[in-house]
Chains A and B, each alone.
Chain A
Amino acid sequence: MAKPEQVSDVELRALLESAHEMMRKGKSSEAVRTLSTAYLKLLALKPDLLDRTIEPLPGRKMPAVMRWPMLGANLTLESVLAKQPEIQFIRERFSVSEAITYYEYTLECAIAANA
């Protein structure tokens, strides 16, 4: 069962807990912004994640971190390739389901990375 208390890094855990609380209060947009910060924090803590690749098509590799959901808070490929990951916001408002998607993804990644 994935919960923020499974994350060791104090700052990252606090960001996840804060995002969770925002989600529960219906503050979806704020939660997505916090989760974006949390994901960038995770990548700073575990820079080796930037080197991992997936192969969507045979012979076509892409950075695994690009699986971050592209729902309006978008991780840019250029920044990942430059090892200076950035998330660009193409809109201000986010829905509940989008916040949940970002939360579940970030939490899973943090736990899987032993952050």
Chain B
Amino acid sequence: MKFGLFYELQLPKPYDRETWDPADERRIYHEMLDQVELADQLGFDYVFEVEHHFLEEYSHSSAPELMMAALSQRTKSIRLGHGIVLTPPPYNHPARVAERIAALDLLSNGRVEFGTGESASDMELGGFRVERGLKKAMWEEATREITNMMVSEPYAGFQGEFFSMPARNVVPKPLQRPHPPIWVAASRRETTMVAARLGIASLGFGFETPEELGERTREYYRLLREECMPIAHALNPGLAVLNTFMMGPTDEEAIRRSAGGPGFFSYSLGYYYNPATGSKHPPGRVNLYRAYKDSSSEGEAEERVARSGFLTEAQIREGEPREEVQRALYRAARSGNAIGTEQRLRATLRRYEEQHLDVMIFVAQAGDRKHEHIMESIDTFGRKLLPEFKERHETEHRKWREEQLRGIEFPINSSI
């Protein structure tokens, strides 16, 4: 199992004011640079950064290509992942995406992971006039053509349902050939299976348990072997999942350091992604952090956070919503899994490893968590846990993957 960091660039407003300090946005951007630079030095494999628009407090990461360009000059080995680029054409013209991905690949000496997706919040879809019912079709058409642009000299042009352009040679071309590894954001099981059938990696945002992950992994690789209809010019077999992450000298201290992270992450995610609230958001006029802190369920949430590091899986599941998206929100808020001491994380992560997970991606920057705690956690994990997982990845997991991919004749470009 490989490891990465995941960034929304969350920025809660101060509780007692209506906007941020002028330096706050600058601060979180530079903190991310520092955190990823440290992760790179310690051997973390990936960083993934979202593209979101207008989701104030929840995500201030609207131009990830610029952060990735900056990181390309401050890091040496870590893979630079878009998690994801919004590929429906109203967000980004496909030719501009192909150009930016290729330019970043050149700048980073071939370290780009090209994550793709559609978005789901009303703030974003409405802001760019993307019709919800068409976004998946838009994603597919644009993603397919972006890969064509990266390999074709010249690109023959396209008359599609959602964009068209005349023949042009789209330059530069990426360093990785035929193109960087392609992923798709998957918050539902169906999308992971779309990824398998189209031959791309699944960037799972559902906070799946190890057992759920095991079932999905088996099915994903079966479909990849038996029923794949590649969308791109090279396969990128792989599954990644998110997990909240914070370490500490004791479990109690790790939970204390973590508490304002997953709770706010979940609260703000639920706010923007639920049509009942997200579609009615008055831009610039809400203090979401204050609403979160003042919410009537806060006491319950904090109690759950305080307890959850010590609950059994059965106890945790007992209170879980059955609906998949709500379950993901619940799990995001739950302060378990990759939160705790070295011993606790080793035991938890081993369960994912036993289910043959390819990549575990940690959500460290979230809510009002402190930069120094995130840096300490990255440092501790990188020194004490990462080496043993890396060793098993290179031996056991790589062998398992070879078995899964045996017989596939289509070209593969994967960093896993």
Contacts and interface: CB of A to CB of B under 8 A. Distances in A.
Do the two chains belong together in a single complex? yes
Interface of A: 1-2, 24, 26, 54-58, 60, 64, 67, 69-72, 74, 90-91, 93-98, 100-101, 104-105, 108
A1 B193 CA distance: 11
A62 to B, nearest CB: 9
Contacts of B231: 96
B134 A1 contact: no
Contacts, number: 78
Interface stretch (B135-143, B280-288, B309-317, B358-366): B135-143
A105 B189 CA distance: 8
Contact of B137 (A24, A94, A100, A105): A94
Contacts of B321: 54-55
A6 to B, nearest CB: 12
B133 interface: yes
A43 B134 CA distance: 26
Given A96-B140, A100-B190, A104-B193, A60 B276 contact: yes
A67 B326 CA distance: 12
Given A1-B222, A70-B132, 11 more contacts: A54-B321, A56-B326, A57-B270, A57-B274, A70-B133, A71-B133, A71-B136, A72-B133, A98-B136, A101-B191, A104-B190
B156 interface: no
Contacts of A91: 133-134
For the residues of A in contact with B, the DSSP-based class is mixed
B270 A54 contact: no
A55 B326 contact: yes
Contacts of B173: none
Contacts of B291: none
Interface residues of B, number: 33
Contact of A98 (B137, B219, B227, B322): B137
Nearest to A74: B133
A57 B297 CA distance: 12
B197 interface: yes
Given A54-B321, A57-B276, A90-B133, A69 B190 contact: yes
A67 B323 contact: yes
B198 A54 contact: no
Contacts of B222: 1
B194 interface: yes
A31 B325 CA distance: 26
Nearest to A53: B323
A94 B274 CA distance: 25
Given A70-B133, A96-B140, A56 B274 contact: yes
B319 to A, nearest CB: 13
B388 interface: no
B136 A108 contact: no
